[in-house]
Amino acid sequence: MTDAHPPLRSYGRLKTRAIKPRQAALMESLLPTLRPPAGPFDPRMLKPDAAEVWLEIGFGGGEHMAAQAQRRPDILLLGAEPFQNGVASALRHIDEQALTNVCVHDGDARELMAQMPAASVDRAFILFPDPWPKARHNKRRLVQAETVAELARLLKPGARLRFASDWANYVDWSLGRFLKNPAFRWTAAEAGDWRTAPGDHITTRYEEKRLGDCAPVFLDFVRVD
């Protein structure tokens, strides 16, 4: 019998260089303590006193995730990243800042999302995901109609979602897909709302490299009732 649900495939490189000894040690010692449970789980079980549950999809090197968790120790921040060098970097940030409100899924974010119940997330971030700029690779982009639908399932009414990219075509692509889903409302009222980094945004070294073809664009959405 053919498996109706084949394993998810994460495109791109999962590892590029040798992980530094200290970070490799954290992969062995710290990461197992930060992973969410295998199988279905309610994130509230991980931090019952959390004011909110946040989700960062593709946290890169973990700078933004760690800084937000440090800024808001009252929330639980779930992060997902399949790139092993990024996971190792994030663990260093978590360890150095002694963060106790972060969970790390070292794999595809869609796996993590599928394990959580509906209306269990208060805020989500998709920041500077791989743009896959060639048209033949667009199907590899994280933001697809199916992903948007899954985010609509996960986010509570009134929850916020931020998408950011410095690739113009990916911005247009993502805006179109979010606006096609009636569960999301774009909060922008004028151009400055997407051209200027929001006040609570944390700029990372990756963002500062300006590897895209436009200035960073920030799209904020609200999950409507």
The domains found in the chain, sorted by start residue, are 21-223 (3.40.50.150)
pLDDT tens-place string over residues 144-176: 999 999 999 999 999 999 999 999 999 999 999
Rounded-to-integer distance, Cα 220 and Cα 80, Å? 20
Taking residues 122-140, report their average pLDDT: 93
202: number of Cβ within 10 Å:
15
Percent of the chain at pLDDT exceeding 90: 88
Q: What are the structure tokens assigned to 12, written together? A: 């791109």
Q: Residue holding tokens 């079980």?
A: 45
Rounded-to-integer distance, Cα 17 and Cα 25, Å? 16
Check residue 28 and give left, alpha or beta (phi > 0: left; psi -120 to 50: alpha): alpha
Rounded-to-integer distance, Cα 32 and Cα 103, Å? 10
| Residue 105 pLDDT exceeds 90 | yes
What's the pLDDT band for 15 if we cut at 50, 70, 90? low
Contact residues for 46 (Cβ-Cβ < 8 A; gap 6+): 36, 76, 103
Check residue 209 and give left, alpha or beta (phi > 0: left; psi -120 to 50: alpha): alpha
In this prediction the pTM is 0.91
pLDDT tens-place string over residues 39-82: 999 999 999 999 999 999 999 999 999 999 999 999 999 999 99
Q: List residues with catalytic annotation.
A: 130
Beta bridge partners of 163: 126, 219
